[in-house]
Amino acid sequence: MDLRGKQKRFLRSQAHHLQPIFQIGKGGLNSAMVVQINEALEKRELIKVTLLQNTDEIAEDVAVALKADIHCDIVQIIGRVLVLFKPSSNEKYQKISKEVKAI
């Protein structure tokens, strides 16, 4: 599902106050981290991921890799911060995705 402009704007406003919960460091993006990010998205639907100064990864490349691996939407990339969104498959956690569908 590709997000429309208004939906992305809504998600950006929701993500504004969030703290990044994952940091990609000099080890880069590994499979264990991809699994953890997917689990976090399942519970929260909207998260931020930061790339630390000591990583060789490029934000756009990480975004493309995550989109391919866990089929999440890239809401925004600002510098070294990615905002990721993925609707939860568990109804209990579907707060944000219900609001996004309504837009």
- Which pLDDT value is given to residue 87? 94
pLDDT in tens, 34-44: 999 999 999 99
- Which pLDDT value is given to residue 2? 76
Domain that holds residue 18: 5-97
CATH number at residue 47: 3.30.110.60
pLDDT in tens, 43-102: 999 999 999 999 999 999 999 999 999 999 999 999 999 999 999 999 899 999 999 998
Residue with token string 């929701």? 14
Whether 102 maps to a domain, the answer reads no
